[in-house]
């Protein structure tokens, strides 16, 4: 079955690149511009993976992960944090919130597909 | 990836504008936390996208900006005016870099980028005792030889590690073999320890004079990254998973989507989402233009139908006419909605002025308070874009020539601080923009003197309004010296020309010692215009309604002859040159008798003339079709349109005709 990925970033440009990369590899990609929009989508859709930015207006990436983990059908969904800072502190925060992994921006499309393949099998 | 560049450019531009808008509002003494967070996010967003698209110059600069703002956000640094300036300067450089990447400008100046970067970094170094980062990595490399006593004792070596351990994380890079007491130790110390403290800690242990401290070479991303317990990091450090790594098989056990626990709540939240700011779409201007074009065609089609229906017996065509009435209303509403898409607030232009005024005032040593009003007044995007230059010129003029320095103001009994106001409002289908200052105003005598020096026909009895019109003539300026700011050879004549080209008008009003006010009137849109259709022979022309003052028939007494030839008409004491459209455009069968023709008084660029036509046909809204696009430029006409009967009619370029008539009248006189 085709895997459905949710890409969350307040930058349309980044969403387009992420979306384009994943779509060209055959994934279905939905997009959201911030954490709240992402949560609203996640309430009615079961995604196979969520890729999220950290700094976003309204609801940031950490808040989104916490929100997702509070939804019954999203408790197990893999969440990869796309971040420009891979400091220990940032990663620890992501893990504490319940992230599955992280990936640094800028990323090579090849790496993104690697991550997706690892997560989605 | 280049297909996504445009979005990146647009987004970055919006972010830069947002950063500037916030910074210019901000009071450094009490910065709003939300504002700082917003700037940080904007910088962060540009950085992430720029890095993704490989625009490293922008990524570097925004990274420094982000670092600085992050510290302000966290309260580690207090916001200072210098920082605001540094970030604003960086914004300028970013904009230049953006233009360069976009290809609309030459390569950005790397020197300017380096300066902006250094300024941002310097702001971050304000607090005392910054950690000795050495620029590479965040650690120190220690090389030393142990003193003989220490080298022989594992206990003492342990306490050395303990002492260093208090300063940061210690790692042994190399140590001499156990039997070589005078061998060199190399340790890596990570953390923020100051060099002095490291020296003090090691003082007891090392052979004097052998300690060397250097910045740790920049480690590779993967090597620098210490995995968290249970974390797996990719070989190149580009991603990582918190173990246990997800098992795809396990995912299939997750039950399918269950409906939200409480649908009413979810629905309510959905409703709230829709009212949020996120619900807009980005559409290319060309698509909107295409819609406007089609609506224009629809307006024309409707007029054609209306004309056709007019010849049918109303009793027979009652339902047809009722339908046409409805069509007219719907078309009008559709037209308004489509036009509304292109409407943008004038704040797009106004927002550049706080900064411009501040910088200009600083460089001129003047104190100026800028007052903006009506920033939310909307007008067509194309008009907004083209009004920026003339407005900038007017604002510069006001600062440069209008407003006095603090000393001169105090001496004149005014407040030291000058006032410049910029306002916009809608008025009768037009937008009215006013640029007013409370400066020294125009000096009548100086304008008169300057006019005489330029051999212009002036006399003492001229009204102020007439006199001020001279300022709009090419090359006329009353500034004593050409200022570096407003000079540059662009004068009020260019401003008037720009405004005229937009189908607008400009007026200047000034009182000596009290101030100057310039009023610019512009159409809300360039796509549609209210026109007066006139007949000349068998031709139909359109005159822009906004430029028509009145229409009248003259009697023999009002016709002024020079050398036996009718040249001008006198209307209420004013002599006006006459342009007979039939002659001007060589229309056969046009009315030649001035007493039988209709004189349409028009005004352009503050000057009047009478256009002679055969008859007035009516008023109607016309859709403007560019002549340059569809045919070629034709002197005397500004554009074309299609009338209700399907015929093409030319729109008269009133400005050009008025100018030409003045020249002819002066030659004749």
pLDDT-based confidence at B543, cuts 50/70/90?
A: very high
Instruction: Return contacts of B449-454, CB within 8 angstroms, 24+ apart.
Output: B450/B476, B450/B477, B450/B478, B451/B476
How far is B196 from chain A, CA to nearest CA, in Å?
Answer: 27
B224 → chain A, closest CA residue = A87
pLDDT-based confidence at B1, cuts 50/70/90?
A: low
Question: Tell me, what's the pLDDT at B250?
Answer: 40
Chain B CB contacts of A99 under 8 Å are: 242
Chain B CB contacts of A106 under 8 Å are: 48, 51-54, 59
Tokens of B660: 């030409």
Closest listed residue to residue B360, CA positions, set B397, B311, B390: B397
| B343-384 residue pLDDT tens | 888 888 898 898 889 888 888 889 899 999 888 888 888 888
B230 → chain A, closest CA residue = A95
| A73-84 residue pLDDT tens | 888 889 999 887
Question: Which of B246, B265, B268 to substitute to test the interface with A, most A CBs within 10 Å?
Answer: B246
Tokens of B337: 């909605």
How far is B291 from chain A, CA to nearest CA, in Å?
Answer: 25
Chain A CB contacts of B239 under 8 Å are: 80, 101-104, 107, 111, 114-115
Is the pLDDT at B18 greater than 80? The verdict is yes
Strands lying side by side in the sheet with B565-571:
B548-552, B598-604, B607-613, B574-580, B565-571, B559-562
How far is A55 from chain B, CA to nearest CA, in Å?
Answer: 6
* Beta carbons of B478 and B447 less than 8 angstroms apart: yes
Strands lying side by side in the sheet with A101-104:
A28-32, A4-8, A49-53, A79-83, A101-104, B239-242, B231-233
* Chain-chain contact of A95 with B228 (C-beta, under 8 angstroms): yes
Is the pLDDT at B623 greater than 60? The verdict is yes
* Residue keyed to tokens 């949710």: A6
pTM: 0.45
Q: What is the mean pLDDT of chain A?
A: 86
Question: Which of A48, A106, A108 to substitute to test the interface with B, most B CBs within 10 Å?
Answer: A106
Q: What is the mean pLDDT of chain B?
A: 79
CATH number at residue A51: 3.40.50.2300
Largest CA distance in chain B: 126
Angle at alpha carbon of residue B253, lines to B248 and B258, rounded to 5°: 120
SS3 for A61-113 is: HHHHHHHHHHCHHHCCCCEEEEECCCCHHHHHHHHHHCCCEEEECCCCHHHHH
* Beta carbons of A30 and A77 less than 8 angstroms apart: no
Phi first, then psi: give them for residue A19, nearest 5 degrees. -60, -45
Closest listed residue to residue B514, CA positions, set B411, B414, B401: B414
B533 contacts: CB under 8 Å, gap ≥ 6: B540, B541, B542, B616, B617, B618, B619, B620, B643, B649
Question: Tell me, what's the pLDDT at B666?
Answer: 64
Distance CA B595, CA B380 (A): 42
* Chain-chain contact of A13 with B266 (C-beta, under 8 angstroms): no
| B379-403 residue pLDDT tens | 888 888 888 888 988 998 888 888 8
Is the pLDDT at B508 greater than 90? The verdict is no
Question: Tell me, what's the pLDDT at B616?
Answer: 92
The H or E element containing residue B144 is: strand B139-145
* Chain-chain contact of B48 with A78 (C-beta, under 8 angstroms): no
Is the pLDDT at B178 greater than 80? The verdict is no
Chain A CB contacts of B52 under 8 Å are: 13-14, 17, 105-107
Kind of pairing between the strands at B418-427 and B368-373? parallel
Distance CA A70, CA A57 (A): 20
pLDDT-based confidence at A6, cuts 50/70/90?
A: very high
- List residues bridging with A5 in a β-sheet: A29, A49
Question: Tell me, what's the pLDDT at B279?
Answer: 59
* Residue keyed to tokens 């004013």: B574
Phi first, then psi: give them for residue B553, nearest 5 degrees. -110, 140
Tokens of B328: 């007219």
Is the pLDDT at B564 greater than 60? The verdict is yes
SS3 for B433-484 is: EEEEECCCCCCHHHHHHHHHHCCCCCCCCCCHHHHHHHHHCCCCCCCCCCCC
Angle at alpha carbon of residue A29, lines to A24 and A34, rounded to 5°: 135
The H or E element containing residue B241 is: strand B239-242
Domain that holds residue A25: 4-120
The closest CB to that of A14, out of B41, B49, B269, belongs to B49
Chain A CB contacts of B47 under 8 Å are: 84
Average pLDDT, integer, range B99-120: 82
Question: Tell me, what's the pLDDT at B133?
Answer: 39
Phi first, then psi: give them for residue B344, nearest 5 degrees. -130, 150
| B32-78 residue pLDDT tens | 777 888 888 888 888 888 888 888 888 888 888 888 888 888 877 78
Distance CA B181, CA B147 (A): 8
Taking CA atoms, B461 is separated from A85, B231, B476, B516, in Å, by: 74, 90, 20, 21
* Chain-chain contact of B242 with A107 (C-beta, under 8 angstroms): no
Chain B CB contacts of A73 under 8 Å are: 254-258
Chain B CB contacts of A101 under 8 Å are: 239-242
* Residue keyed to tokens 């009478």: B610
Chain B CB contacts of A7 under 8 Å are: none
* Chain-chain contact of A101 with B273 (C-beta, under 8 angstroms): no
* Beta carbons of B549 and B601 less than 8 angstroms apart: yes
- Residue A15's SS3 state is helix
**Helix B5-25 and helix B353-364: axis angle, to 10°?**
50
- Residue B565's SS3 state is strand
A47 → chain B, closest CA residue = B257
Question: Tell me, what's the pLDDT at B419?
Answer: 92
Give percent of chain B with pLDDT exceeding 70: 85
Tokens of B169: 């994380």
How far is B189 from chain A, CA to nearest CA, in Å?
Answer: 17
How far is B7 from chain A, CA to nearest CA, in Å?
Answer: 6
**CB-count exposure of residue B68 (10 Å: 0-12, 13-18, 19+):** buried
| A42-98 residue pLDDT tens | 888 888 999 998 888 888 888 999 999 888 888 888 999 988 766 777 778 888 888
Is the pLDDT at A30 greater than 60? The verdict is yes
Query: What secondary structure letter does DSSP report for A60?
Result: -
* Chain-chain contact of A16 with B4 (C-beta, under 8 angstroms): yes
How far is A54 from chain B, CA to nearest CA, in Å?
Answer: 10
Taking CA atoms, B337 is separated from B300, B334, B340, B343, B376, in Å, by: 17, 5, 5, 10, 18
Question: Tell me, what's the pLDDT at B74?
Answer: 80
How far is A6 from chain B, CA to nearest CA, in Å?
Answer: 15
Number of domains in chain A: 1
Tokens of A27: 């994934």
Question: Tell me, what's the pLDDT at B566?
Answer: 67
- How far out from the chain centre does Cα A104 lie? 12
């Amino acid at each position: 079955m085709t895997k459905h990925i949710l890409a969350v970033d307040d930058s349309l440009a980044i969403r387009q690149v992420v979306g384009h990369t994943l779509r060209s590899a055959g994934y279905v990609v939905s997009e959201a511009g911030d954490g709240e929009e992402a949560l609203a989508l996640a309430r009615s859709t079961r995604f196979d993976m969520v890729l999220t930015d950290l700094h976003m207006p309204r609801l940031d990436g950490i808040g989104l992960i916490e929100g997702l983990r509070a939804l019954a059908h999203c408790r197990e969904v893999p969440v990869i944090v796309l971040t420009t800072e891979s400091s220990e502190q940032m990663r620890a925060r992501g893990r504490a919130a319940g992230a599955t992994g992280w990936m640094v921006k800028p990323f090579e499309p090849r790496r993104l597909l690697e991550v997706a393949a690892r997560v989605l099998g | 990836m280049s297909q996504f560049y445009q979005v990146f450019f647009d987004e970055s531009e919006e972010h830069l504008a947002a950063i500037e808008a916030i910074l210019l509002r901000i009071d450094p003494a009490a910065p709003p936390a939300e504002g700082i967070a917003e700037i940080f996010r904007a910088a962060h967003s540009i950085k992430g996208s720029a890095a993704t698209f490989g625009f490293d110059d922008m990524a570097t600069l925004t990274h420094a900006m982000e670092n600085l703002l992050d510290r302000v956000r966290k309260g580690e640094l207090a916001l200072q005016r210098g920082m605001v300036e540094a970030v604003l300067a960086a914004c300028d450089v970013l904009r230049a870099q953006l233009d360069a990447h976009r290809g609309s400008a030459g390569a950005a100046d790397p020197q300017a980028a380096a300066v902006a970067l250094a300024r941002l970094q310097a702001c971050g170094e304000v607090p005392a005792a910054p950690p000795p980062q050495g620029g590479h990595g965040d650690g120190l490399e220690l090389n030393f030889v142990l003193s003989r006593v220490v080298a022989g004792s594992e206990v003492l070596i342990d306490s050395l590690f303990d002492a260093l351990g208090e300063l940061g994380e210690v790692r042994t890079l190399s140590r001499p073999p156990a039997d070589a007491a005078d061998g060199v130790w190399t340790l890596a110390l990570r953390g923020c320890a100051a060099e002095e403290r490291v020296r003090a800690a090691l003082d007891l242990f090392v052979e004097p004079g052998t300690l060397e401290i250097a910045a740790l070479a920049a480690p590779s991303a993967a090597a620098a990254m210490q995995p968290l317990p249970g974390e797996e990091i990719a070989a190149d450090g580009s991603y990582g998973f918190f173990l246990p790594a997800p098992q795809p098989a396990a995912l299939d056990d997750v039950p399918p989507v269950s409906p939200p626990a409480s649908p009413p709540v979810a629905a309510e939240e959905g409703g709230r989402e829709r009212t949020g700011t996120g619900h807009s779409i980005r559409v290319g201007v060309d698509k909107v233009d295409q819609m406007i074009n089609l609506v224009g065609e629809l307006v024309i089609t409707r007029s054609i139908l209306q004309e056709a229906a007019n010849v049918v017996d109303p009793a027979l065509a009652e339902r047809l006419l009722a339908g046409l009435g409805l069509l007219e209303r719907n078309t009008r509403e559709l037209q308004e909605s489509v036009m509304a898409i292109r409407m943008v607030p004038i704040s797009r232009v106004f927002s550049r002025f706080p900064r411009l005024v501040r910088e200009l005032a600083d460089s001129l040593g003047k104190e100026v308070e800028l007052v903006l009003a009506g920033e939310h007044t909307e007008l067509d995007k194309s008009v907004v874009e083209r009004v920026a230059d003339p407005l900038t010129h007017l604002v510069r003029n006001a600062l440069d020539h209008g407003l006095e320095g603090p000393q001169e103001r105090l001496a004149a009994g005014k407040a030291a601080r000058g006032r410049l106001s910029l306002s916009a409002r809608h008025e009768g289908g037009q937008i009215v923009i006013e640029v007013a200052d409370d400066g020294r105003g125009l000096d009548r005598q100086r304008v008169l003197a300057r006019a005489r020096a330029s051999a212009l026909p002036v006399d003492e009895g001229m009204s102020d309004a007439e006199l001020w019109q001279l300022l709009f003539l090419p090359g006329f300026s009353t500034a004593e010296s050409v200022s570096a700011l407003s000079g540059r050879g662009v004068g009020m004549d260019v401003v008037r020309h720009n405004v005229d080209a937009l189908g607008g008008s400009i007026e200047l009003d000034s009182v000596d010692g009290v101030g100057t006010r310039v009023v610019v009137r512009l159409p809300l849109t360039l796509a549609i215009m209210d026109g007066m259709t006139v007949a000349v022979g068998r031709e139909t022309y359109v005159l822009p309604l906004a430029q028509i003052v009145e229409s009248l028939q003259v009697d023999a007494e009002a016709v002024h002859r020079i050398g036996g030839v009718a040249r001008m008409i006198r209307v209420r004491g004013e002599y006006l040159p006459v342009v007979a459209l039939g002659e001007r455009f060589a229309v056969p069968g046009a009315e030649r008798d001035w007493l039988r023709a209709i004189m349409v008084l028009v005004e352009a660029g503050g000057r009047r003339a009478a256009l002679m036509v055969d008859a007035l046909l009516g008023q109607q809204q016309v859709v403007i079709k560019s002549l340059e696009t569809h045919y070629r430029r034709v002197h005397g006409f500004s554009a074309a349109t299609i009338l209700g009967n399907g015929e093409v009619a030319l729109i008269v370029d009133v400005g050009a005709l008025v100018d030409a008539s003045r020249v002819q009248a002066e030659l004749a006189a």
